[in-house]
Amino acid sequence: MNRLSLTWKIFLGTALVVTVVLSVTLALTAVEATRTADASVDNALRAAREQASQSLSARTRALRGGAEVFVQNPTFRALVQKRDLGSMLDQSQEAAAQLGARWVQITDDQGVRMAKSDDPGAAADTLSGSRLIASALQGTEADGFIVIGDSVLAQAISVPIRGAGAMAGTLMAVTSIDAEVAELIRSNAQGTVDVAFFMWPQSGPAHLFTTTLPRSAELEGVIRAMPRVPDVNPADSAAPQSGEGRANPILGGVHYVSLTETLRSASGTAFGGLVILRNRDAEFAAFNRLRNTIVFGGFAGLLIAGLLSLAIARQITKPVNVLVLATRRAADGDYAADIEVSGSDEISRLAGAFKDMLRDLREKHAMVEFLSGAAHSEEMTVQLSQMRDSMQLAAREAGVTPGTRFAMRYDIKEVLGVGGMGSVFKALDAELGEVIAIKTLRRDFLSSDPNALERFKSEIRLARRISHRNVVRTHDLGEHSGVYYITMEYVEGTPLKKLIRDRGRLPVAVTIAAGKQLCRALEVAHEQGVIHRDIKPANIVVEPDGVLKVMDFGIARLQTANAGMTQAGMLIGTPAYMAPEQLMGRELDARADLYAAGCVLYECLTGHPPHEADNAISLIAKVFEEAPKPPSAWNEEVSPALDAVVMQALATDRDNRPASANELHDLLAALG
C-alpha cells in the first residue's frame, strides 16, 4: 500500500468507502425495512384483531338484543312465571328460530332448566352454578365463549326474565362460530390477513376449529403448539382478560406473522382463541426492489470514483506538500513557515488550522522564552524574603503553618500568598497523594463582614461550574476548627503581577498571547453565566509551559443573581481594575470583565494600570474624568491596531466595548 501512488490510494480508499457505505446502507436499510415491515404487520394485525373483536361483539349484541326483545313478550313471561313446562319447549324452539341461535334454554328463578330447544328430553338440572345463568338470575346480562362437546366453539349470552315485580327466570342463547364467521372477519380486516379459530378441549392440546387458510399439517402443528393460557377471574381488574401472543410461523414455505387473541367464557375460563395471520414476505417486496437499486447505484459510484480520483489527487498533492514542509520545519523548532490559505474547501481549512497552530506555537514559544529569561536582582530577592516573612506571620495568625497537618488530611508545605480575604497554602493531600492549593478565610474577616462566608461559599459553587485549561480547577469546600477553606488545583507558575513587577512591561507578542488565553477563560465563565468581577494580574498565573490560568472566583456572581450578599455602598473587587459601572455599584454584565481584561492588557504593555492614584476616591475620580493615555504613549512598540483594541476594551460606556470575550479574542488574534 505504501508503494502505491496517491491516485491509486485515493481510488482504493474511495472504493473501500463506497463499498463500506453500500454495505452499511444495505444493512441499515434491511434493519429499517425489517422494522418498518414488522411495524406494518403489527399494525395490520392489531387492526384486524380489533375488527375481529368488533365483529364478534356485534354478533353478541345482536344475539342479546334479540333475546331481550323476546323475553319482553308478556305471554312468554307469564308462562315462565307460572312454570308452564308444557309450553317451555315450544318457547325455547321459537326463540332459537327467531334469534338464529344454535339452541336456547330457559330456566326458572332458581336456575333450574325448564327446556332446551335442541333436546326435548333435557333433564331439569340446576344451572345456577354457571356464570352466565348466575349473572342473569341477579338481573345482569352476561356473555362469553363456550365449547360444546369438545368439538364446537360458540358464543353464548344470557338475559334475565322478569315477571310482575320479581325474577321469573333466565334465557340463554348459543350461536356457533363457523367458517362464515372467519371469512367475515377476514373480509372486514384492513389489509390482507387470514383467520383461524381453535379451541382447547378439557384435556390435550388445542385443535383447529375453522380457518380461512387451506388446512394443512403445518397449520395443525402450529395450533397444537399453542400453550394453554391460565384462567382468570373476571372480577379481578388487574388480570388480563384477553391474551395476546405473537409468533412467526412458516406455512407452505411462506413466512407469516401471527397474533393470538384468547377467547374466554363468562367465568374467565380460556376455551379457545382467534389467530390473525399476515404474510410477512409480501411486506419485503418493496425492500427487495430498493436493494437492487442500491447495488446498481453502488457500482456506478465506484466507476465515478475512479474517474474523479486523478483530479482529486492533483488538487490535494500540492497543498499537502506545503503542509508537510511546514510540519518538518515546526519539528525543528521553526514556526515561521508561511502558509497561504485560499478557498473554503477541506484542504484550505486544514491549512488555515495549521497556520493558526503555528501562530499559537510562536506565541507560546515567545512566552516560554520570556519566562525563562526572567531574572531577579539582589534587591528583589530581599523584597521576596521580606514578603515570605510577612506571609508566614499571616499564616500563623490564621492558625495554619507549614510543616503541620491541616484538617487531618492536608500536609501544609508553604505559604503561597496572603490576600484581603485570607491565605493560600501549598499542601499535599495525604489521602490522594496529590499536591493541591488550600485557600483559607480569615476569622476576623468573617466577624467584620457577615456576608464573607456566603461569598466564600459562592466561590466554590461558581468555580466548580467552570472547567477549562485556562481556569484553575476548584475541588471542594470544608471547615476545620472554625477555619473555612477550599481546595483547588495547585499551579506551578508565576503570577502575572510578579512578571510585570520584575520586568516593567511585557513584550507585545507575549501580551497578545496572554490576552487571548485570558479571553478564553472569560468566555467559558460567561457561557456559564458567571462574572469574575476581580480580573487583575494578581489573579492570573502563567505556568512554565506558557499556559495562563485565571483563579480566585471568590467574589464572582451569577449574572442573574441579585446583590443580596453585597452590603449597601460596598465595593466588591479591586478599584484599579474595576469598570465604571462596577465602581458606581450598578448592575453588571460580562462586559465588566472585558474592561478589567483591558486593564490587564494595558498594564502588561506599559508596566502600570490605566489609572493610578494615592487613594480610592482619587482613583475613581480619574476613571470618570480622565481618559487614559493609549499604551503606545508609554511603549513605542505598541501598534495603532493594538492601541485601538485596548482602548476599546477600556471604554467608559460599556456599549462601546467588545460585545463578548470571544469578540475581544478575535480582535487580538487578528493582530498576529
Predicted pLDDT at 236: 65
In order of 3, 25, 337, the CA distances from 323 in angstroms are 21, 35, 9
CB-side neighbour CA atoms (13 Å) of 350: 12
Largest CA distance in the chain: 135
With contact defined as beta carbons under 8 Å apart, do 574 and 566 qualify? Answer: no
Closest CA to 555 of 409, 443, 445, 402: 445
With contact defined as beta carbons under 8 Å apart, do 520 and 468 qualify? Answer: yes
Residue written as grid cell 454495505: 23
φ, ψ of residue 138 to 5 degrees: the values are -90, 5
With contact defined as beta carbons under 8 Å apart, do 305 and 18 qualify? Answer: yes
Q: 487-501: per-residue pLDDT in tens?
A: 999 998 889 999 999
The phi-psi region of residue 111 (left if phi > 0; otherwise alpha if psi is between -120 and 50; otherwise beta) is: left
Predicted pLDDT at 427: 95
Predicted pLDDT at 573: 64
Q: 77-130: per-residue pLDDT in tens?
A: 999 988 888 899 999 999 999 999 999 999 999 999 999 999 999 999 999 999
The percent of residues in the chain predicted with pLDDT above 70, rounded, is 83
CA–CA gap between residue 458 and residue 568 (Å, rounded): 19
Listing from the earlier edge strand, what are the strands of the sheet with 434-440? Answer: 405-406, 410-418, 423-429, 434-440, 483-489, 474-480
DSSP string computed for 464-527: TT---TTB--EEEEEEETTEEEEEEE---SEEHHHHHHHHSS--HHHHHHHHHHHHHHHHHHHH
The percent of residues in the chain predicted with pLDDT above 90, rounded, is 42
Q: 200-248: per-residue pLDDT in tens?
A: 888 889 999 999 999 999 999 999 988 888 888 776 655 454 556 788 8
CB contact burial 355-383 (16+ within 10 A = b; e otherwise): beebbbebbbebbbebbeeeeeeeeeeee
- SS (HEC) of 192-235: CCEEEEEECCCCCCCEEEEECCCCCHHHHHHHHCCCCCCCCCCC
Strand partners for 410: 406, 429
- Highest mean pLDDT out of 259-268, 321-330, 450-459, 639-648: 639-648
Predicted pLDDT at 564: 40
Q: 64-79: per-residue pLDDT in tens?
A: 999 999 999 999 999 9
Predicted pLDDT at 343: 67
Output the CATH code of domain 494-669. Answer: 1.10.510.10
Predicted pLDDT at 557: 55
Q: How many CB atoms lie within 10 A of CB 493?
A: 20
Output the CATH code of domain 378-489. Answer: 3.30.200.20
Domain segments of the chain as ranges: 72-176, 378-489, 494-669
Output the CATH code of domain 72-176. Answer: 3.30.450.20
How is residue 253 written as a grid cell?
A: 414455505
